[in-house]
Structure 1
């Protein structure tokens, strides 16, 4: 196996494994996961995102690799709906097939492997990732609920007391929720600050740097803790199939489209690695909200995260661990 691949992935594997062992040993209990997640997302993530993007000028951003990434998302999302039918379950499965864990694992992994240059490329994707995917998924799910109720399947909503919104109101609500989030806000704020040409004062920059440096290790340890407390149960077979689509088919599709569109080098590598990341936790929140495939999605997130150790290795052998 390529030695550079092993060297690149080994810190990630060890950090996740240490979190898994800490969870299994009971050192970090399930009740603490929510607080640790809040620490990572509400404090460490904004510090890292703002500090990274505060040194980036808009003309440095390249959205062509992002276009290749989302073209693959559109293909997979649409194909899932065509195969599964237009309903809530299909919409949630489509989101699971395309929504990567770009923050908790992606930012930590890309930062460790490719440094600031790779991080800027990833954050260009992250800046629109949740906005486009979660907005689209919300709209599709609301329309699916309306369709099921119209066809007389309201009783099949599992007791969900839900009144579909007007499509325009749904889109506006989803856009607002995606923007008022600890991920896009510091990215936008950092970009705006960078355009002023100012530098962050040292007395502020140093604490931000320390918080940003803490993000990667703590986020990966938290992934391991969550894996230790996530049941898979009888859903492991369909979960493995869904994880295979997300972890393997998605990056292969992105790789092919990048080649087709003439995207290469570090931007292509980062997009393909981002596509090979496991299913993001937001998918589980959607399955909870719409009360559909909750156990399957829970199992799929766990299986996808565990499978990522293998799929990331294969992807890095395909595109190379460095540009």
Structure 2
């Protein structure tokens, strides 16, 4: 359990640094924009090349993937329906809200949790690949189209994500994993250095937004925040457990890995996307905060229950 607490504590400290810098007026909202753009266009694509390049893509066809996909799909649908029909959110706002409800922090938190709690970082690889190569490209394609102010066309949805740096970095990493190729040191070393900026940049930018932005729940819909947080913290892991245990017959440590991975909080890079496209930034920020705090007791309970 110490590994879970250590992972969350590390994230909290870096976020606190960003908030402190903003409080002391060393940085301002402009710095948050710069850090978010740096993470989106440079650091995160470099990180994806290295992360996916080392992943075992054969795990993509495992029960882990099927259960994780079910949890994501149910959470997305249960958010999109009220967002469009009740709250009348725009396409871009709905996309960010859906990501906030289902996109788990499989990178900077999932990897240490998988390593310390589950004993192998590879357990998070199926979810990581599913999000980076399917969910994220689709969402970014929708956000790109929405930002241009006109409706979606199927060929734009299919091709537009390929122009996104995060998608390109993910595809390069997957290619390296499938082929077993190794980049020369002259390329891999600078990429690793750039990739190392991704997580700190996201977390510091998030801390700045927490300090300079409106307080938790002071803007936007409280009902919407409760919905995204509940879907992420409770519904998604419960659906993943049901599919894995009841429908697929997974048990033991493999079942624990599936449920713990699904119970991870909303990823910080959703706030980066929200900032980049100026869609539902407060909802993304608040959902990340609520689920990051709430995931600690939930994962501890899951580990005690299935461990």
- Into which bin does the TM-score normalised by the smaller protein fall? 0.7 to 0.9
Partner of 2:125: 120
Q: CA shift at 1:265, angstroms?
A: 4.8
Tell me, in whole angstroms, the C-alpha distance in 1 between the residues paired with 2:51 and 2:99.
Answer: 23
Aligned residue for 2:174?
191
Say which of 130, 139, 142 aligns to 2:136. Answer: 130
Q: Helix, strand or coil for the counterpart of 2:109?
A: helix
1:268 is matched with which residue? Answer: 258
- 1:89 aligns to what SS in structure 2? coil
Looking at structure 1, the residues matched to 177 and 277 of structure 2 have their Cα atoms a distance apart, in angstroms, of: 34
Cα distance change on mapping 1:173 and 1:86 into 2, 3 Å:
farther
User: In the alignment, what sits opposite 1:291?
Assistant: none
1:21-62, Cα deviation, whole Å (9 max, x unpaired):
212222221112222112212221122111222234543433
Q: Structure 1: how far apart are the matches of 2:174 and 2:184? A: 16
Structure showing greater radius of gyration is 1
Instruction: Give the gaps of 5 or more residues in structure 1.
Output: 143-159, 289-296
**Relative to 1, partners in 2 of residues 1:31 and 1:101: Cα closer, same or farther, differing over 3 Å?**
farther
The residue aligned with 2:239 is: 253
- What is the CA deviation profile of residues 89-124 of structure 1, one whole-angstrom value per residue up to 9, with x for unaligned ones? 286676455314999954221233335525533431
Could you tell me how far apart the structure 2 residues matched to 1:266 and 1:207 are? 36
Q: Secondary structure at the match of 1:28?
A: coil
RMSD (Å), alpha carbons: 3.8
- Structure 1 stretch displaced more, 103-112 or 22-31: 103-112
Q: Residue 18 of structure 2 corresponds to which residue in structure 1?
A: 19
Query: Relative to structure 2, which stretch is displaced further, 7-16 or 109-118?
Result: 109-118
Q: Distance in 2 between matches of 1:54 and 1:119?
A: 14
- The more displaced of 30-39 and 197-206 is 197-206
Partner of 1:293: none
**How many pairs were matched up?**
291
TM-score (norm: length of structure 2): 0.75
| 2:184 is the alignment partner of 1:178 | no
1:98 alignment partner in structure 2: 98
C-alpha distance in 1, partners of 2:243/2:227? 21
Distance across 2 between alignment mates of 1:85 and 1:102: 17
Partner of 2:118: none
Unaligned stretches of 5+ residues in structure 2: 116-120
Contact 2:100/2:284 (8 A) holds in 1: no
8 Å contact kept, 1:37–1:222 = yes
TM-score, normalising length: structure 1: 0.72
Q: Select between 275-284 and 34-43 the one with higher mean Cα deviation.
A: 275-284
SS in 2 for 1:304: helix
User: How far apart are the structure 2 equivalents of 1:197 and 1:163?
Assistant: 41
The whole-number CA distance in structure 2 between the counterparts of 1:52 and 1:106 is: 11
Q: In 2, distance between residues paired with 1:121 and 1:270?
A: 13
Aligned partner of 1:37 in structure 2 is 36
**1:222 equivalent among 201, 205, 219:** 205
Where does 1:284-323 land on structure 2 (aligned, <5 Å)? Answer: 288=279, 297-320=280-303
Matching residue of 1:52: 51
